[in-house]
Structure 1
């Protein structure tokens, strides 16, 4: 299992419109894939732009494709500044 961290920039003017889109997308993904997404942001908004992060813990193989399709269906790119960046992390193996 892997954890996905997706971060992107959001103009202040779009934040109120974008938040419900992201949350609705996360709810649909939770129902379809059993992954409880989280939505976070950095404090502050230098130059009128916020940094947001979506977190998806313990995802199965193929979830990244489902997430990309869901983001496109939700038209998130219309309200963000630039691209969504994805980081993938996995648990370290326990040493014996």
Structure 2
């Protein structure tokens, strides 16, 4: 299992239109998803983060395909970037 973090820039003017699309996308997956944003705005851009804890290795590809189909590209500035994290092994 992995934890997936996807971040991207959102034009402040497009934030209200994008938020329900992201939430609808997240609701389509049977995983506990989160949607976050940085509190500051730089050059009219917000930084958003989608968090998907405890997903399988195939999930990032399914999410990417769903995001492309959801039409996010016209509402974000630049690419969606994904980072994968795993738990550290416990000490014996």
Q: TM-score, normalised by structure 1?
A: 0.93
Higher helix share: 1
In the alignment of these two chains, the number of paired residues is 92
User: Aligned partners of 2:55, 2:68: CA distance in 1, in Å?
Assistant: 19
Q: What secondary structure sits across from 1:87 in the alignment?
A: strand
Alignment of 1:1-20 (within 5 A): 1-20=1-20
Residues 15-38 of structure 1, C-alpha deviation per residue, up to 9 Å, x if partnerless? 000000000000011xxxx21110
Residue equivalent to 1:89: 85
Structure 1 residue 52, shift from structure 2 partner:
0.2
Q: CA deviation at 1:9?
A: 0.3
Give the superposed CA RMSD: 0.7
Q: 5+ unaligned residues in a row in structure 1: which ranges?
A: none
For structure 2, the 5+ residue unaligned runs are none
- 1:18-66 residue CA offsets vs partner (Å, 9 max, x unmatched): 000000000011xxxx211100000021111100000000001211111
Q: What is the distance in 1 between the residues matched to 2:57 and 2:84?
A: 12
What TM-score do the two structures reach when normalised by structure 2? 0.96
Structure 1's consecutive aligned runs of 4 or more residues displaced over 6 angstroms after TM superposition are none
